[in-house]
Amino acid sequence: MSKKKYSQKYPLVWQKDDFYIEIFCSIPNIATGILLSTDEHKFVIDPGDGILRDLNKNISKEEILDISDIFISHGHHDHVGGVWSFLTYMSVLRRQKPLSIYFPKGCREILSIHNAFLEVYSDELTYKINLIGIEKQRKINKGSLIIEPFKVNHNEMNEDGSSEYVPSLGYKFNYNQKSICYGGDTAYCENLVKMSKDSDLAIIEAGAIDENDETHLTMQQAEEIGKTAKEYFLVHVPD
């Protein structure tokens, strides 16, 4: 008997007290968009296309201006497509507070978007952008929230069938004895296995098109990793 297709409805929401995450969407080749918040923090993770629409649907403009950091897993367009419009929108709202963007070191897309953005808007920019390329798996301290970036194993296929490593990270967010592990896009990866285990929530991509797909996890691999966490969401599932 054929297995029932995994059907997914966005948004996916998880909350423990004031530790909140909402995945607006995570659709391969189209868009990702995630909001993580506590009473003191507001972060955006992987702002793909549509991020401004989804943020405005869910939180106020004042709250959008409170977003202090953006975390990028890797530079593919379905994870960074909304960065340009987010940066522009902050200027439209006359943002004053600095904004930090964390990304895997070597991610050309973020550097290019940032450079092009400054070229166009530096005269009228109302806020400072801090670019933080992550190379070492060092913890990031944000008061009561600690973020652990970890390397994952995402590749892209070339025309000739060879594959190329994409600088790629997952992030584990620890707050108030609870933890959320977001793996980004990755093939099977020991770091992800380790970081997902015993998390309160693991967000695992299941993007493989078939068993031979070396760039993403199969549904079975993703489920196996997810089950080692207390709860899990499978995301990035192809239609």
Query: Which range binds Zn ion by CB under 5 A, 41-49, 90-98, 115-123, 184-192?
Result: 184-192
Nearer to Zn ion, 168 or 196 (CB): 168
By CB under 5 A, tell whether 205 contacts Zn ion. Answer: no
By CB under 5 A, tell whether 185 contacts Zn ion. Answer: yes
Kindly state the tokens that stand for 201: 């929530």
What lies within 8 Å, CB to CB, of 162 at 6+ separation is: none
From the CB of residue 123, how many other CB atoms can be counted at a distance below 10 Å? 6
Query: Which range binds Zn ion by CB under 5 A, 59-67, 70-78, 92-100, 194-202?
Result: 70-78
By CB under 5 A, tell whether 46 contacts Zn ion. Answer: no
Query: Which range binds Zn ion by CB under 5 A, 7-15, 36-44, 54-62, 177-185?
Result: 177-185
Q: How far is the CB of 166 from Zn ion (least distance, A)?
A: 6
Long-range contacts of 20-26 (CB under 8 A, 24+ apart): 21/180, 21/201, 21/203, 22/58, 23/203, 23/233, 23/235, 24/50, 24/51, 24/54, 24/58, 25/50, 25/54, 26/205, 26/235, 26/236
Amino acid at 5: K
φ and ψ of 55, to 5 deg = -65, -45
Q: How far is the CB of 158 from Zn ion (least distance, A)?
A: 14
Nearer to Zn ion, 76 or 151 (CB): 76
Which of 41, 76, 172, 236 is close enough to bind Zn ion by CB under 5 A? Answer: 76
Which residues of the shown chain bind Zn ion in the complex (CB under 5 A)?
Answer: 76, 185
